[in-house]
Amino acid sequence: MRWPGGPLRGIAQLPSSKSESNRALIIQALAGGGELENLSDANDTQLMQRLLTDQQAPEFNAEDAGTVMRFLTAYLAATGRTTQLVGTARMYERPIAVLVEALRQLGADIEYAGQDGYPPLRLNGWHPALAADEPAELTVRGDISSQYISALLMIGPTLPAGLRLWLTGKVGSRPYIRMTQSLMQHFGATCRDLGTVLEVRPGAYQPADYTIESDWSAASYWYALVALGEEGSTIILPGLREHSWQGDQAIVGIMDQLGVATEFFPDGVQLTRKASAAAVEQDFSDCPDLAQTVAVVAAALGIPVAMTGLESLRIKETDRILALQTELAKFGATMAEEAPERFVVRSANFQVNGQQVETYHDHRMAMAFAPLALRGPLTVLGPQVVRKSYPRFWKELERAGFAVQEQG
């Protein structure tokens, strides 16, 4: 990849939100109808859509998609399916015991087909206890993945007396829980957020229409490009809402500190270069998918950034903390744990001069490091990983003026 020089300008097309799309597809299936507009073209969403249309499959392959594995586990269990749920080798390293144990308490018959606590899974139907007057009560850790909580919430209305979830420990990615609840309510569910307790009333979903918003996680890479661009760089991103259900809208405030101003319009935003802060401190508990983008931008700008709330990064598509440490070192930056679970990114002589970036089968590693091409020639290995969430990413960079050449 190369940048020919000059300010970055243009209009970039974003994918639709994968997070909204995959939740809406599960709820639509439970509701038995409704039209979904502007569904994501990301592989994870297309995969979810295909699997949900096959009602009799003896095996469901979630591939490397965390939301597909976790949401389908709850959906297939609650609908009484007898089937197997499999995935990639990396998926078999991502824990799922918290969700499986919760579903077993509700009445699901689930077995581990491999290592205890991890996929693949064998689902043997649903054997609920007698109908009760009180909601089913579960205690769930909130510090591993909010996707477990969302998976349970979405099946809550189908339970005889509803569901009451008690959350323990630090709850990460809470905006994603609120997104789930908002989409549930859009389809007729009644749920309450009482802080450490989440309640879902019993009662069927109602078919409804919904238009998916553009993806704020994908927008973060264009924020990075403007932050690293020359003076006068500006990009328009259509389809983003000022009042969004997506937690990764936090990129607006974070990047304001790293030199990008945001102006909202009725159907999108305009990003413009501005002055940046001298140092940044950020808790990523509610927006862990932004961590890689922010770490790379701060390192390239020479702005020290202290990062907390990164616990869930260890169990993503790769160990994202280790991957960041390894790849940032190639450019002259460090990411050191200077206190328990507090990482600081620093750089003194950051240079881009033809390095090869490993992506570790992780779409966000590819897209977080790609903006460095504004500072010099760069090779991103395994570029096809972007299909997971932003299939047109490289095409959009070409439209913006980058020279993108696929090797081999």
78's CB contacts (< 8 A; 6+ apart) are 103, 106, 108, 126, 155, 158, 159
64 annotated among ligand-binding-site residues: no
Residues 6+ apart with CB under 8 A from 194: none
Closest CA to 69 of 37, 46, 106, 44: 44
Give, for 235, the enclosing helix (H) or strand (E).
strand 234-238
**How far is residue 129 from each of residues 105, 154, 302, 309, measured CA to CA in Å?**
9, 19, 59, 38
Q: Evaluate if pTM is beyond 0.85.
A: yes
Per the omega criterion (within 30 degrees of 0), is the bond before 120 cis?
yes
First to last CA, the chain: 14
Q: Domain limits of the chain?
A: 9-15+213-400, 18-211
Tell me: pLDDT of 55 over 80. Answer: no
Model confidence pLDDT, tens digit, residues 295-352: 999 999 999 999 999 988 887 788 999 999 999 999 999 999 999 999 999 998 999 9
57 band by pLDDT with thresholds 50, 70 and 90:
confident
pLDDT of residue 134: 86
Top CATH class of 18-211 equals alpha beta
244 annotated binding-site participant: no
Q: Give the model confidence (pLDDT) of 21-44 as tens digits.
A: 999 999 999 999 999 999 999 999
Q: What is the pLDDT of residue 173?
A: 81
pLDDT digits over 176-221, tens only? 999 999 999 999 999 999 989 999 999 999 999 999 999 999 999 9
Chain centroid to CA 405: how far? 28
Topology agreement, domain 9-15+213-400 and domain 18-211? yes
pLDDT in tens, 80-115: 999 999 999 999 999 999 999 999 999 999 999 999
**Does the pLDDT at position 370 exceed 90?**
yes
Mean pLDDT of the chain: 94
Q: Are 172 and 142 in contact (CB under 8 A)?
A: yes
Report whether pLDDT(130) > 60: no
Q: Does domain 9-15+213-400 match CATH 3.40.50.740?
A: no
Q: Is 143 a catalytic site residue? A: no
Strands, E assignment, 321-363: 333-339, 342-347, 356-357
**Cα(14)–Cα(390) distance, rounded to whole angstroms?**
8
SS3 (DSSP) at 166: strand
**119 in Cβ contact with 140 (< 8 Å):** no
19 is in an annotated binding site: yes
330 is in an annotated binding site: no
Q: How many residues does the chain have?
A: 408
Catalytic choice (64, 215, 286, 289)? 289
